[in-house]
Amino acid sequence: EAGVAQSPRYKIIEKRQSVAFWCNPISGHATLYWYQQILGQGPKLLIQFQNNGVVDDSQLPKDRFSAERLKGVDSTLKIQPAKLEDSAVYLCASSLGLASSTDTQYFGPGTRLTVL
Amino acid sequence: AQSVTQLDSQVPVFEEAPVELRCNYSSSVSVYLFWYVQYPNQGLQLLLKYLSGSTLVESINGFEAEFNKSQTSFHLRKPSVHISDTAEYFCAVSEETSGSRLTFGEGTQLTVNP
């Protein structure tokens, strides 16, 4: 079974530029998550989709971050414009069930973003 | 809202020594507890989880964790570590009333030296 795929693996941009990350979850997984992991910290949930609807985006900085999950499969996360403090690893995860608290989340390798 | 505290940011040990990585949580409702491991340049992988039943849970590679409700802890232990166990370990919690939202601790870097 293929795991969660993410691209690109690394991205370097200057502040005020825009950037987009792509995620393809495990086939058949209903729920998709985007996390931000700043160096030295644990992952923080940015947004959660159930199929193609948003379940939780309470910690997403909506003035600059946006995400979509078209057709309930793959997803993109965009930052526009980027700030220095957005430098982090962006992790995508998916789970089989419909956002149950007992679900196991499967993580992709992440995209490491550096904002100069 | 729940929170997770991992008491040690770095734990260096020698090969074949025992290790304990500590995790405490706070929540006002029932919780489910997870340990994830992150090897260099890889995503997080589930190591073990506590959902219900026996408070002692085990992984396939010799780790175990015990849920202690009175002390609100979920410490991870291994009686004898290998070089290959070197990684970052994250404790995480989900609440029964909050769906699958996970709150992670800040991680513990386990370094196993020869």
pLDDT digits (tens, 9 = 90+) for A66-105: 999 988 899 999 999 999 999 999 999 999 877 677 788 9
When CB atoms are compared, the residue of A102, A104, A109 closest to B42 is A109
- Within 8 A of B97 by CB-CB distance, chain A residues are 101
User: Where residue B1 falls among pLDDT bands split at 50, 70, 90?
Assistant: low
Look at B94 and A102 and tell me if their CB atoms are within 8 Å. yes
Interface-testing mutation among B33, B100, B102, with chain A (most A C-beta atoms within 10 A) = B100
Q: Which of A4, A63, A73 is nearest to A35 (CA)?
A: A4
Whether pLDDT at A1 is above 80: no
Task: Find, in chain B, the residue whose alpha carbon is nearest to that of A33.
Answer: B101
Whether pLDDT at B98 is above 80: no
Look at A91 and B44 and tell me if their CB atoms are within 8 Å. yes
The four Cα atoms B80, B84, B87, B90 give a dihedral, to 10 degrees, of -50
Distance set, CA A79 to CA A19, A57, B1, B9, B47 (Å): 5, 15, 27, 30, 32
Phi, psi for A109 (deg, rounded to 5): -75, -15
Lowest mean pLDDT among A43-47, B1-5, B66-70: B1-5
Q: In chain B, what is the straight-line distance between the N-terminal and C-terminal CA atoms, in Å?
A: 41
pLDDT over 70 percentage in chain B: 99
In angstroms, what separates the C-alpha of A102 from chain B's closest C-alpha? Answer: 7
Task: Find, in chain B, the residue whose alpha carbon is nearest to that of A96.
Answer: B100
Task: Find, in chain A, the residue whose alpha carbon is nearest to that of B94.
Answer: A101
Look at A104 and B49 and tell me if their CB atoms are within 8 Å. yes
Interface-testing mutation among A59, A95, A101, with chain B (most B C-beta atoms within 10 A) = A101
- Three-state secondary structure call for residue A84: helix
When CB atoms are compared, the residue of B45, B94, B101 closest to A56 is B101
